[in-house]
Amino acid sequence: KNQVEQSPQSLIILEGKNCTLQCNYTVSPFSNLRWYKQDTGRGPVSLTIMTFSENTKSNGRYTATLDADTKQSSLHITASQLSDSASYICVVSGVTGTASKLTFGTGTRLQVTL
Amino acid sequence: DGGITQSPKYLFRKEGQNVTLSCEQNLNHDAMYWYRQDPGQGLRLIYYSQIVNDFQKGDIAEGYSVSREKKESFPLTVTSAQKNPTAFYLCASSDSYYGYTFGSGTRLTVV
């Protein structure tokens, strides 16, 4: 069964600190992995997308890594800001362009405090 | 600005009532999707449509219905057959696996 597991479930950090969120998946065949940021009561917004051949991708203070051999990804947030408080969702696509093959993680809820 | 618009933002449904959630996009995307989000769970696919006048059931289609009469619109009806409809509903569209965009969601509550 295709699964995406994220850890930790929740995380509290001080403003200005760095953090790393983890995503392990068992989706096969693999097409791409995406990280989304979802503010409370809003739709998810794409941060990064990586294909099999890419092992790192950055979007401002967000850097995602992918190890397709171990089926692991991480999202590193540098110099966190209060506005980073949100849920971060890892999504793995098993087949190019087919919605029914997207598998969603349950998300990591990040809270950045003063 | 191109985007995907869901309405209403909040919706209340009485027992036994059908309600329809709107989803409109001006991104010229062929494919559109409906997902349901519950606390502590990943998004689950309800229905998707890859072309006008065609749609397919997702993992949890029971109690829901859709139509795709126009490329821009993909409304979702939550019928009285859906026994636990209280959830956050998200619409999305894509033209390829790179162009996947979500709406801002509709929170449906049964009263």
Instruction: For A79-99, write each residue's pLDDT tens digit.
Output: 999 999 999 999 998 775 555
Q: Which residue of A has its CA nearest to B92?
A: A43
Token pair listed for B96? 């390829």
* A84 Cβ under 8 Å from any chain B Cβ: no
Mutation target to probe the B interface, by most B beta carbons within 10 A, among A26, A102, A103 is: A102
What are the chain A neighbours of B97 within 8 Å (beta carbons)? 31-32, 49, 93, 96-97
First to last CA, chain A: 41
CA geometry: angle A104, A105, A107, nearest 5 deg: 125
**Which of the four pLDDT bands, split at 50, 70 and 90, describes residue B97?**
low
Dump pLDDT digits (tens) for A30-67. 888 999 999 999 999 999 999 888 999 999 999 999 99
Dump pLDDT digits (tens) for B42-77. 899 999 999 999 999 999 999 999 999 999 999 999
DSSP-assigned letter for residue B70: B
Contact between A43 and B104 using a beta-carbon 8 Å cutoff: yes
Compute the count of residue pairs across chains A and B with CB atoms less than 8 Å apart: 55
CB atoms within 10 A of CB A11: 16
pLDDT surpasses 60 at A18:
yes
DSSP-assigned letter for residue A21: E
Contact between A100 and B98 using a beta-carbon 8 Å cutoff: no
